[in-house]
Chain A
Amino acid sequence: MFELHNCAPQFVQQLINGVALGGLYALIALGYTMVYGIIELINFAHGDVYTLGSFISLSILGLIPLASISNPTVLALIAVAVIILAALLCGIVGVLIERLAYRRLRNAPRLAPLITAIGVSLILENIMQIWKGNSEVSFPQFLPDNWHQIGSVRFDDRSLLVVVVSVVCMILLNLFVFRTKLGKAMRATAQDRDAAQLMGINVNSTIAWTFFIGSALAGVAGFISGMYYGTTFFLNGYQAGLKAFTAAVLGGIGNITGAMLGGFVIGIVETMTSGCISDQWSEVAVFAILILTLVFRPSGLLGQQLPEKV
């Protein structure tokens, strides 16, 4: 039941798997952390937007006769186009969710939007269940997959894809948040909504943009998770969302760099637990981290201790 394997030989291998998984969690965690940073809401539906991303990608790919295309450049371009489309559509869904379910409750007691967020999550899950059914759906593996070997460590293009795409997204996001005017508006709104409004920032549209970007990143994560795992499932977003949220909390919620760091840590912890103990304990390990972080260091690894607003 609970026995330690000697996992030293595969240590580096597990580390690499963990980094790939962590990239995925980090992408999802960014959406949680951005939304929490700006309106202090745990957007429960975010994990399901991620699954929606994989479902949307799947449907777009279904329209393309992939089998008849063999040119790798064309296939790569298709992948990029699908990522962008999935990101756009998920972003729009995110904005719609904010507009319909959260905006009215922005000044209500904190429990109210949290409860609607849970409701939206259930609705999305069921829509996806009706859409693609009760079982796992396979995701077309249309990109050529080569294995690389360095010493005793093996990794394939799929893991590479996850890491590259997530790192690129994170760099773009950082540039956006710290170098553009809209990014500045977001940071200002997160700091003090009323003051930002007085400075002439359109708070509503800034919040909508935050939802758009967070959800778009979840859409990207949805696509690359489909490529990475080869399957998708309507309930995937629940567990993945909780783990990504754990990552955001671990990194310091509201902190973008923290979410990335947290994502990689959670990914590595999960694969290490799977490799050294067994699969069934990895979830327990992740949620134990969640509880321990919140109990002992609620501000997370990189967050600052903020006084509670009264």
Chain B
Amino acid sequence: MDRRVTWLPFGLSRYSGKQVVGGGLIVIVLALLPYLDSNSSHISAVADAGYILLLAFGLNIIVGYTGLLALGFAAFFAIGAYTYAFVASPQFGLHWSFWIMLVVSAAVAAAFGVILGAPTLRLRGDYLAIVTLGFGEIVPQLFQNLDKWTGGPDGIAAVDQPTLFGYNFGFNPTPYYYLYFVVICICLLLLTNLRYSRLGRTWMAIREDELAAEHMGINTTTAKLLAFSMGAAFAGIAGVIYAAKLSTISPSGFDFNMSIMILAAIVLGGMGNLSGVLLGGGIIAMLNFLILPQASNWAHALGTKLNVAFLMSVDLTQYRFMLYGIILVLVMLFRPEGLLPSATVRAELHDAGKTPEAA
């Protein structure tokens, strides 16, 4: 079973039989999920995992593949969401098509990726982290302050919901679930191929040793810019679907916490490895949307039974960032390659302890 399935199209032939069968089973179960679980709040939570995953894919290109630490990634998510909301809401009286905007917003976010990246990518790793963090702070602030156009802190309401062949998605989570499902499947195929393409290998060469990569004749600036813009494009797509599903957006949804949540997802799962990113994104999303709200309810029930006031009123979702913080620290200290690492990253991180000065 460990042999590769050479007859599969779209680059899936890179995977072994086991992986293809396992992945296929997961895809089938997920495709049938709305029929297996009729609770629409569950479906909504699983659908929301979609934008976490898309953001994690994008950040993984920048941090996992290319090794650039970008901390303000939510800014691109915000740009995607606002781009759609501007042209598909009563805000300016425009109602452009969701499907076209899916592509346009991705392009707009990618353009901002280039605008941010072009002057900053020559900075060293941690300076880059700070510049992107500053960018991530400024973008939601601008959306908040430019209230003539953006609706200020209240944001934009009544964002158009998508329509497909005359069917309006409305507030029913199931169509959004399938939309995310299809988009994520397409992205996965794209990313699998990208990872092994010339560009993907270039990115990894830069991650391993930028100086050496440059000396091998790689144009590192172009490759890094491409990583930035492609990563941003994923965030742009996520932003459009997010805005459409929620039908309202405000600047507070795109703050530093969002960037951290995505970073925690890819760190936990395993930077640079797609299955790791899927796992990490899935875990973080489920914690965020299903497990913590559910655990709060259990705590309330337990508190009522035991008559403990603290448990009766505790809101565990408030403390989710404690959990993300613990995840970041523990994973980095004890399993820096994440739960499902790529072989290269694992070798690199475990080798590093032996060299005295890995600057």
Chain A residues with a Cβ under 8 A of chain B: 1-2, 40-42, 101, 104-105, 107-116, 118-123, 125-127, 129-130, 134, 193-194, 238, 242, 245-246, 249, 280-281, 283-284, 287-288, 290-291, 294-295, 298, 308-310
Contact = CB atoms under 8 A, between A and B. Distances in A.
A194 B142 CA distance: 46
B38 interface: no
A59 to B, nearest CB: 20
Contacts of B324: 119, 122
B138 A287 contact: yes
Given A118-B328, A122-B324, 8 more contacts: A112-B332, A116-B333, A122-B328, A130-B319, A194-B356, A290-B134, A294-B120, A309-B359
Given A120-B329, A283-B141, A111 B69 contact: yes
A280 to B, nearest CB: 5
Given A114-B129, A115-B263, A126-B325, A287 B137 contact: yes
A108 B337 CA distance: 12
B253 interface: no
Nearest to A310: B211
Contacts of A41: 126
B198 to A, nearest CB: 25
Contacts of A283: 137-138, 141
Interface of B: 63, 67, 69, 71, 119-120, 123-127, 129-131, 133-135, 137-138, 141-142, 144-148, 211, 256, 260, 263, 267, 318-319, 321-322, 324-329, 332-333, 336, 348-349, 352-353, 355-359
Contacts of B319: 126, 129-130
B26 to A, nearest CB: 28
27 contacts: A40-B359, A41-B126, A105-B332, A108-B358, A110-B126, A111-B69, A114-B129, A115-B332, A116-B329, A116-B332, A118-B263, A118-B328, A122-B328, A126-B319, A126-B325, A127-B322, A129-B319, A193-B357, A242-B133, A242-B134, A246-B134, A249-B127, A284-B138, A284-B145, A287-B134, A294-B134, A295-B119
Contact of A112 (B123, B138, B263, B336): B336
Nearest to B137: A287
Contacts of A134: 318
Contacts of A121: 325
Contacts of A113: 332
Contact of A42 (B129, B322, B357): B129
A195 B247 CA distance: 60
B321 A125 contact: yes
Contact of A107 (B129, B141, B263, B356): B356
A122 B355 CA distance: 30
Contacts of B119: 295
B325 A119 contact: yes
A108 B357 CA distance: 9
Interface SS, A side: helix
Nearest to B129: A114
B328 A111 contact: no
A299 B132 CA distance: 18
Nearest to B209: A310
Given A284-B141, A294-B130, A107 B260 contact: no
Nearest to A126: B322
Given A107-B357, A116-B333, A134-B318, A298 B328 contact: no
Contacts of A287: 134-135, 137-138, 141
A242 B356 CA distance: 31
Nearest to B348: A109
Contact of B123 (A2, A104, A118, A294): A294
A121 B349 CA distance: 23
B59 to A, nearest CB: 12
A157 B260 CA distance: 40
B214 to A, nearest CB: 11
Contacts of A101: 329, 333
10 closest cross-chain pairs (CB), A and B = A122-B325, A119-B328, A126-B322, A119-B329, A123-B325, A287-B134, A309-B359, A119-B325, A290-B134, A116-B332
Contacts of A308: 124
A126 B131 contact: no
A126 B321 CA distance: 7
B293 to A, nearest CB: 17
Contacts of A295: 119-120, 123, 131
Nearest to B136: A287
Query: Of B126, B144, B321, B356, which is in contact with the most chain A CB atoms at under 10 Å from its CB?
Result: B126
B353 A107 contact: yes
Contact of A298 (B127, B133, B145): B127
Given A122-B324, A298-B123, A308-B124, A107 B355 contact: yes
Contacts of A298: 123-124, 127
Given A119-B329, A126-B319, A291 B359 contact: no
Contacts of B329: 101, 116, 119-120, 123
Nearest to A130: B319
Contact of B145 (A1, A112, A115): A1
B333 A104 contact: yes
A202 B63 CA distance: 35
Given A116-B332, A294-B131, A122 B322 contact: yes
A281 B124 CA distance: 28
Nearest to A295: B119
Query: Of A40, A122, A238, which is in contact with the most chain B CB atoms at under 10 Å from its CB?
Result: A122
B332 A119 contact: yes
A191 B48 CA distance: 49
Contact of B352 (A109, A129, A290): A109
B146 A1 contact: yes
A127 B355 CA distance: 36
A122 B123 CA distance: 26
A249 B130 contact: yes
Given A1-B145, A121-B325, A284-B141, A245 B130 contact: yes
Contacts of B336: 108, 112
